[in-house]
Copies of this chain bind each other. A is one copy, B any other.
Amino acid sequence: MLNKLHITAEDMIQQNGGRATAGRIGILAILLAEQQAMTHREIEQRLPGTLQLDRVTLYRALEWLVGKNLIHKVTSDDRVWRYHANREVHNTHQHAHFKCTCCAQVICLDDLTIERNWHLPTGYRFQEIELTVKGLCADCG
């Protein structure tokens, strides 16, 4: 299965006109295999022994994947970026996340839409929305 994801990852990267390096493929395959949004550290720990990347390289590869819209970054209150693969083309401007206040896991809530029955102060312009629901996940609750 991971092998299949490697091929998928490689395809995704090449379709975006980027170099399909072992690092990028490995990182994207890890993110594709994981439901949760992963931190830099979690990704690093899951890298196989045959693919040990430098911290900086990992940061740069993630940044590159974000730029190519293959993954997206999730803000959190613990000052740590989390990354999640963009499986289908989804509306990135209407995207909510759930964070467990106990174990800190983050998942995407794709079906949560936000109604815009409110308005900003005069002169303010809307760009995007960032919504995090906090609570306890199934394991911690």
Q: Point out the residues of chain B lying under 8 angstroms from A133, CB to CB.
A: 120, 126, 128-130
- Cβ of A18 under 8 Å from chain B: no
Asked whether B134 lies within 8 Å of A131 as measured between CB atoms, the reply is no
Checking B107, B109, B131, B136 against A130 with a beta-carbon cut-off of 8 angstroms, the contacting residue is: B131
Known: A75-B77, A109-B118, A109-B120. A136 touches B125 (CB 8 A): yes
CB proximity of A70 to chain B, nearest CB, Å: 20
Q: Point out the residues of chain B lying under 8 angstroms from A141, CB to CB.
A: 123-125
Checking B75, B114, B129 against A75 with a beta-carbon cut-off of 8 angstroms, the contacting residue is: B75
Known: A75-B77, A129-B131. A136 touches B124 (CB 8 A): yes
Checking B121, B125, B130 against A77 with a beta-carbon cut-off of 8 angstroms, the contacting residue is: B130
CB proximity of A33 to chain B, nearest CB, Å: 19
Checking B77, B127, B137 against A124 with a beta-carbon cut-off of 8 angstroms, the contacting residue is: B137
Q: Point out the residues of chain B lying under 8 angstroms from A114, CB to CB.
A: 114, 131
What residues of chain A have their CB less than 8 Å away from a CB belonging to chain B? 75-77, 79, 98, 101, 107, 109, 111-115, 117-118, 120-138, 141
